[in-house]
């Protein structure tokens, strides 16, 4: 009986520390291509390979993306809409993106924001909104 209580306590502890981060993507003007979403947990992964990623089919209106089983912590999100399905974000001759993109906390109007400016604290289930630029 004692082992049952210990198991129940261990399972409760695990599920209590796992959270979901839901990202609602708004300002979707086109359903072309796919949405690539990357989750980052430090400056070291920011604007590079994220710790998790998803490729989502575009839909009208807004798109929702959910990252599950996250430990409590600080996370940043980068995303872009790959309208021509090239597998990367297209840029003009001076490096400005020509496909829609976004960051958590909706920074990036004059260059990419830092991880510190984009991070959100996840210590419970949380939903954020990112507007495509």
The pLDDT tens digits of the residues spanning 82-109 come to 999 999 999 999 999 999 999 999 998 8
The residue ranking higher by pLDDT, 76 or 59, is 76
User: How confident is residue 1, by pLDDT bands cut at 50, 70 and 90?
Assistant: low
State how far the Cα of 23 lies from the Cα of 130, in Å rounded to an integer. 7
Please state the domain count of the chain.
1
Any domain includes 93:
yes
Q: Looking at residue 71, what is its pLDDT?
A: 97
The more confidently predicted of residues 13 and 80 is 80
8 lies in a domain?
no
What share of the chain has pLDDT > 90, as a percent? 81
Residues 103-128 have a mean pLDDT of 95
| CATH number of the domain within which 52 lies | 2.60.40
Q: Could you give the CA distance from residue 88 to residue 94 in angstroms, rounded to a whole number?
A: 16
């Amino acid at each position: 009986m004692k082992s049952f209580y210990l198991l129940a306590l261990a399972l409760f502890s695990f599920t209590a520390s796992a959270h979901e981060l839901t990202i609602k993507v708004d300002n979707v003007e086109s359903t072309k291509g796919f949405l690539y979403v990357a989750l980052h947990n430090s400056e070291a992964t920011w604007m590079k390979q994220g710790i998790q990623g998803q490729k989502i089919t575009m839909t009208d209106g807004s798109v929702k993306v959910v990252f599950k089983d996250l430990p409590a912590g600080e996370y940043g999100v980068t995303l872009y809409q790959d309208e021509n399905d090239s597998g990367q974000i297209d840029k003009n001759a001076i490096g400005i993106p020509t496909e829609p993109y976004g960051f958590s906390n909706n920074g990036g109007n004059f260059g990419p924001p830092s991880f510190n400016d984009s991070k959100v604290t996840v210590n419970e289930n949380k939903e954020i909104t990112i507007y495509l630029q």
